[in-house]
Chain A
Amino acid sequence: MGKERLVVIGAGMASGRVLEHLTEAAPDAFDITLFNAEPRGNYNRIMLSPVLAGDQTYADIVTHDEGWYAERSIATRFGEKVLEIDREAKVVVGENGHVPYDKLIFGTGSNPFMIPLPGHDLEGVIAYRDLEDTECMMDLKAGQKCVVIGGGLLGLEAAAGMAARGVDVTVVHIMGHLMERQLDEAAGYLLRKSLEDKGITIKLQANSKEIVGEDGKVCALMLDDGTELPCELLVMAVGIRPNVALAQAAGLAVGNGIHVDDQMCTSDADVFAVGECVEHQGAIFGLVAPLYDQAKVLAQSLLGEEAAFVQKSLSTKLKVTGCDLFSAGDFADGEGREDIVFRDPSRGVYKRLVIEENRLVGAVMYGDTADGSWYFGLIRDGTDIEEMRETLIFGPAYQGGDTADPLSAVAALPLDAEICGCNGVCKGTVVEAIEGGAGDLGAVRATTKASASCGTCTGLVEQLLQVTLGDDFEMPTAQPVCGCTDHTHEDVRRLIKTMPLKSQEAVWQELGWSTRNGCHVCRPAINFYLLADWPLDYQDDPQSRFINERKHANIQKDGTFSVVPRMWGGITNPTELRAIADAADKYKVPTVKVTGGQRIDLLGVKGEDLPAIWADLNKAGLVSGHAYSKGLRTVKTCVGTDHCRFGTQDSTGLGIKLEQALWGSWTPHKVKLGVSGCPRNCAEATCKDVGIICVDSGYQVGVAGAAGMDVKETERLIDVATEAEAIDVTVAFVQLYRENAKYLDRPYKWVAKVGLDWVKERINDLDERARLIEAFELSQSIYRKDPWAEHAAEKAERYQPLADLTLEAAE
């Protein structure tokens, strides 16, 4: 007997899940043909918003690639619309010919609803549904104008994504507050406020009248009251309608959507439907969680197993960075309903729980949504909450007198608590997978699908891994910066660039810091990220630096300081040496030492004396050697051609030029360079962050060496012919490191993470190299200055005690 022929119309999120279940459970049961009107296979539609915002790329959200279909022998007809179905003859007619079927699945999704305003068919009026729409929005340049009609989930994600790209966005919403179906007014207000902080203009109770065009292209939206909002693109995100035309024409029973029974079967026993195109017991669907339930049921039905689709209550989250929002159940006011409200205006936190007869029926949370899934579980299960009513608003961590530790909160969740809303995965399933050997996030995703869609539950899954595996589980490298935040260094860097954030306050506020003003771990990191990314807009904050950098001297174990003047490329002269010797005498410096980087260190200087000793050294032309800083320290050199019989190039001269180009720049960690005149390598250049070996044919530039806690030889970045090019490459490398590395990662650690090949690629790309050099120079125009001169002149008094009470009479 031949295999049954299965035809699927629409490669969407719902049908994609059906195919996964089917091909996994019974790889050989069907001969499958898949049609899709979009010219591509399955991708995670809900992640279009992060793609739009620039947080992800399209490649990141593809769920099934060519290879996936090929491995399962699924015939794909992408970019081909199905025009007609002949149920009598059991064939599907596509644009390029027909395909017979034994079983047929509709997964045609929905059509975005376009309000038939005059002008709705102008060029530049789009919906927000697929990759093409997303690309249209991504084509807008910073400063261009866009109007979004619709202040619901989709409209706001579109608006926020474009705003993150610098587009001037106005949202027009007909209701009195945003997302009125999911939020109450108070939460709507907070949402509005934070969107406005992102530069989005929001017009509420605004009725659109007409779309104005010019030469067939949109140029403005006119409102009822005559206001004209100019725009180059107009996005309509006002709702969706199940896509039923094809099913209707084929004579299937159709209401708002294609009618299906609990087995997802339509009015024709051989035709099924799944996803947004269906209507089940009067309901239609617009979120993925129920669609995935449907998909599972459909796959089981096709394989002759018993299964039935049951509708469950839903929760909503908004995928806009910095707007934490959660809503579930029903929160309308009503007879016999009571509210519990919690507000923390300073943190922008709002929570409201709606209770009816000792059961939680609705929850709205803004600003702090960590407990959302727990509340959702209570709503879904109709749990009696009488006992915990008093502390309910504080979340699961407070039930049973526990502390506010997120791990114990997760541990306290019941096994059927939902962890991943998108995929409807409960705690029990995840724990089972972990106990069955899924030892990290990737494995849990692969086996349970939890956290594999929108990813907001990733933290929960990780906590489950930790609770279940205990010490055997090492939290992945994605560690938060510190206890003040859940964000990783990488996230913070990315968000500072994309949001954009230009002050520490903005970072604490927008990224939800849990402390008042950070701590000694995050503050120096944030300070560096801000000044590296926004050199012109951000002013360095000395109070976010450790003492060495704040006072421009190294603190020693007895609280005294060491002072190191810069000696460019390791070269000095009698005048400088005399000035150093005089200073050592005058300030009674107990120890004078030559450092590993060929500089002279004056050890044991009293804090109060620092401004004076610097003033003296400055007078002799000496500037700070930054021996304390996360920045360029020294460039060690050998004597090169000037004196050495082996020297091939002027290594000392190159060292001086490099030091003069790079000094004063702040970097994620300290940076040390070396230049040797020949492969004998007297400057030990091969264990530096950047080490250059001069050879007859030019310069070999190596990077990512180390001689600290780890000892490691440099790796060859590039060979260049001229000195100028060697300097260019070095500067570009340092800037690339500044732009990308995590604070306190030395270059060798950073290169190990991103890969030398990636670094090479960037440096070899001449446009990129030029951009890096330019960005570095821009930053240097602000930061290349001698901190000693500045402090000795302006801040000397800060180095003295506030007051001296040694003479006061003790009482």
Chain B
Amino acid sequence: MSWIDIGSIDDVPLRGARKLKTRLGCVAVFRTDTEEVFAASNTCPHKGGPLAEGIVHGQSVTCPLHNWVFDLNTGQAQGEDGQIATYPVRVDAGRILIDGTALAARSAA
């Protein structure tokens, strides 16, 4: 693993998300009501909705286009046949760190 500092946790709204640009497309970084942080693909497998713009509730996010709901732990869509990739991310002294190795490994998948 190679942890990359992508910003302060306060930069992501509580129960909200921000986009992270990478060479392989955007990743969404989510922050829940209890300060947990998750990272997952920003692109909804249904019709490509930008998940960073969705409503974050519990440990889930709802896609802003047609309301698919994804579990941020597993990336699995609730009641739908679809999944988004998730990436290891952690918070250290208020900074959000994401696993660069996992991000880079995406193209292989």
The answer to whether A802 touches B55 (Cβ under 8 A) is: no
With CB as the reference atom, state the residue of chain B lying closest to A522: B57
Give Cα distance in the complex from A547 to B60, angstroms: 16
Which B residues lie within 8 Å of A329 (CB)? none
Give B1-42 as 1s and 0s: 1 = Cβ < 8 Å from A's Cβ atoms: 010101100011111101111110010010001100000000
The answer to whether B53 touches A810 (Cβ under 8 A) is: no
Give Cα distance in the complex from A598 to B26, angstroms: 36
- Given A517-B33, A557-B65, A559-B49, A805 contacting B6 (CB threshold 8 A): yes
Give Cα distance in the complex from A806 to B4, angstroms: 13
Within A526-551, the residues touching B (CB, 8 Å) are 542-547, 550-551
Which A residues lie within 8 Å of B56 (CB)? 543
Interface of A: prevailing SS = loop
The answer to whether B55 touches A811 (Cβ under 8 A) is: no
Out of A520, A551, A607, A805, which one reaches B103, CB within 8 Å?
A805
With CB as the reference atom, state the residue of chain A lying closest to B23: A806
The answer to whether A543 touches B16 (Cβ under 8 A) is: yes
Which B residues lie within 8 Å of A517 (CB)? 15, 33, 57-58
The answer to the question of A515 belonging to the interface, with a C-beta cut-off of 8 Å to chain B, is yes
The answer to the question of B64 belonging to the interface, with a C-beta cut-off of 8 Å to chain A, is yes
Give Cα distance in the complex from A559 to B53, angstroms: 9
Out of B12, B13, B22, B50, which one reaches A805, CB within 8 Å?
B22
The answer to the question of A808 belonging to the interface, with a C-beta cut-off of 8 Å to chain B, is yes
With CB as the reference atom, state the residue of chain B lying closest to A556: B65
Out of B15, B19, B22, B26, which one reaches A543, CB within 8 Å?
B15
The answer to whether B12 touches A802 (Cβ under 8 A) is: yes
The answer to whether B14 touches A802 (Cβ under 8 A) is: no
Out of B20, B48, B55, B101, which one reaches A801, CB within 8 Å?
B20
Report the minimum CB–CB distance from A802 to chain B (whole Å). Answer: 4
The answer to whether B57 touches A516 (Cβ under 8 A) is: yes
Which B residues lie within 8 Å of A519 (CB)? 55, 57-58, 60, 62, 69
Within A794-810, the residues touching B (CB, 8 Å) are 798, 801-806, 808, 810
The answer to whether B13 touches A543 (Cβ under 8 A) is: yes
The answer to the question of B54 belonging to the interface, with a C-beta cut-off of 8 Å to chain A, is yes
Number of A-B contacts (CB under 8 A): 101
Which A residues lie within 8 Å of B26 (CB)? 801
The answer to the question of A213 belonging to the interface, with a C-beta cut-off of 8 Å to chain B, is no
Give Cα distance in the complex from A188 to B22, angstroms: 56
The answer to the question of A704 belonging to the interface, with a C-beta cut-off of 8 Å to chain B, is no
The answer to whether A547 touches B58 (Cβ under 8 A) is: no
With CB as the reference atom, state the residue of chain A lying closest to B55: A520
Report the minimum CB–CB distance from A44 to chain B (whole Å). Answer: 39
Which A residues lie within 8 Å of B23 (CB)? 805-806, 808, 810
* A-side interface residues, number (CB < 8 Å): 31
Give Cα distance in the complex from A805 to B62, angstroms: 25
Give Cα distance in the complex from A523 to B23, angstroms: 34
Give Cα distance in the complex from A808 to B50, angstroms: 23
Which B residues lie within 8 Å of A515 (CB)? 57-58
With CB as the reference atom, state the residue of chain A lying closest to B50: A559
Give Cα distance in the complex from A706 to B12, angstroms: 40
Out of A555, A801, A808, which one reaches B100, CB within 8 Å?
A808
The answer to whether A805 touches B20 (Cβ under 8 A) is: yes
- Given A546-B64, A551-B53, A555-B53, A802 contacting B29 (CB threshold 8 A): yes
With CB as the reference atom, state the residue of chain A lying closest to B34: A516
The answer to whether A543 touches B55 (Cβ under 8 A) is: yes
Which B residues lie within 8 Å of A546 (CB)? 55, 64
Report the minimum CB–CB distance from B20 to chain A (whole Å). Answer: 5
The answer to the question of A664 belonging to the interface, with a C-beta cut-off of 8 Å to chain B, is no
The answer to the question of A518 belonging to the interface, with a C-beta cut-off of 8 Å to chain B, is yes
The answer to the question of A71 belonging to the interface, with a C-beta cut-off of 8 Å to chain B, is no
Give Cα distance in the complex from A806 to B23, angstroms: 4
Give Cα distance in the complex from A523 to B26, angstroms: 27
Which A residues lie within 8 Å of B6 (CB)? 802-803, 805
The answer to the question of A335 belonging to the interface, with a C-beta cut-off of 8 Å to chain B, is no
The answer to whether A547 touches B33 (Cβ under 8 A) is: no
Which A residues lie within 8 Å of B103 (CB)? 805, 810
The answer to whether A801 touches B19 (Cβ under 8 A) is: yes
The answer to the question of B73 belonging to the interface, with a C-beta cut-off of 8 Å to chain A, is no
Which B residues lie within 8 Å of A557 (CB)? 47, 65
**What 10 pairs across the A-B complex have the smallest Cβ distances?**
A802-B18, A520-B62, A803-B6, A547-B53, A547-B64, A520-B55, A810-B104, A543-B15, A516-B58, A804-B21
29 contacts between A and B (CB under 8 A): A516-B34, A516-B57, A517-B15, A518-B57, A523-B57, A542-B13, A543-B14, A543-B55, A545-B55, A546-B55, A547-B53, A547-B54, A555-B50, A558-B48, A559-B50, A801-B19, A801-B21, A802-B11, A804-B21, A805-B21, A805-B22, A808-B4, A808-B23, A808-B100, A810-B23, A810-B104, A811-B2, A811-B100, A811-B104
Q: A559-B53, A802-B7 provided; 18 other pairs, C-beta below 8 A?
A: A517-B15, A520-B69, A542-B13, A543-B16, A543-B55, A543-B56, A546-B64, A547-B64, A555-B65, A559-B48, A559-B50, A801-B26, A806-B22, A808-B22, A808-B23, A810-B23, A810-B100, A811-B104
A binding-site residues for B, Cβ under 8 Å: 515-520, 523-524, 542-547, 550-551, 555, 557-559, 607, 798, 801-806, 808, 810-811
